[in-house]
Amino acid sequence: MHHALQIPEILLNIFGHCSDRFDWFDPDVAALARTCRAFKEPALDVLWEELHELSPLVVRCVPEASLPSEYSIHRSLTQIEWDILRSYTRRIQSIELGADFARIDEEYFLSLFKPPTTEPLFSNVRKLHFEYPDDKYLLLATFPSLMSLDIWIKDLRSFEDSLKLFAKISPSLASLSFHPYYYANIHMDRIDPKFICHWRNLQILHCIQMPLDMTTLVDLSCLPALIDLSFVLRSTRPDQVSPSGSPIIFSNLKELFLGSDFLGLVSHLLSQIRLPALTTLTAYIDFRPARQDDLSLFFSNVWTSGSPRTIQAPRLIQPYETSVPGDRPVLGLEDLRLFVPFSNLRHIQLDIEWKVDLTDSELLTLVSTWPCLEELSINTEWGWNTLQGGITPNGLLQLLQLCPLVLTTIALAIDT
What average pLDDT does range 243-248 have in this prediction?
76
**pLDDT interval class at 55 (50, 70, 90):** confident
* Beta carbons within 8 Å of 189's beta carbon, 6+ residues apart: 211, 212, 213, 215, 216
Each residue's pLDDT tens digit, 366-394: 888 888 899 999 999 998 987 666 789 99
Q: What whole-number distance in Å separates Cα of residue 413 and Cα of residue 396?
A: 10
- From first CA to last CA, the distance across the chain in angstroms is 64
Is the pLDDT confidence value at 204 over 70? yes
Say what the pTM is. 0.84
- What is the share, in percent, of the chain residues with pLDDT greater than 70? 74
192 SS3 class: coil
Which of 364, 294, 360 is closest to 324 using CA atoms?
A: 294
Q: What whole-number distance in Å separates Cα of residue 164 and Cα of residue 207?
A: 17
Provide the strand spans (E) within 267-372. Answer: 273-274, 280-285, 313-317, 330-331, 347-351, 355-356
Q: What whole-number distance in Å separates Cα of residue 195 and Cα of residue 169?
A: 12
From residue 265, give the alpha-carbon distance in Å to each of 112, 189, 236. Answer: 47, 18, 8
pLDDT at 311: 94
pLDDT at 352: 94
Q: What whole-number distance in Å separates Cα of residue 280 and Cα of residue 346?
A: 10
Q: What is the dihedral of CA 85, 91, 93, 94, to 10 degrees?
A: -50
Q: What is the mean pLDDT of the chain?
A: 81
Which amino acid, 144?
P
Is the pLDDT confidence value at 185 over 70? no
pLDDT at 290: 80
Each residue's pLDDT tens digit, 61-83: 776 666 555 566 667 778 888 88
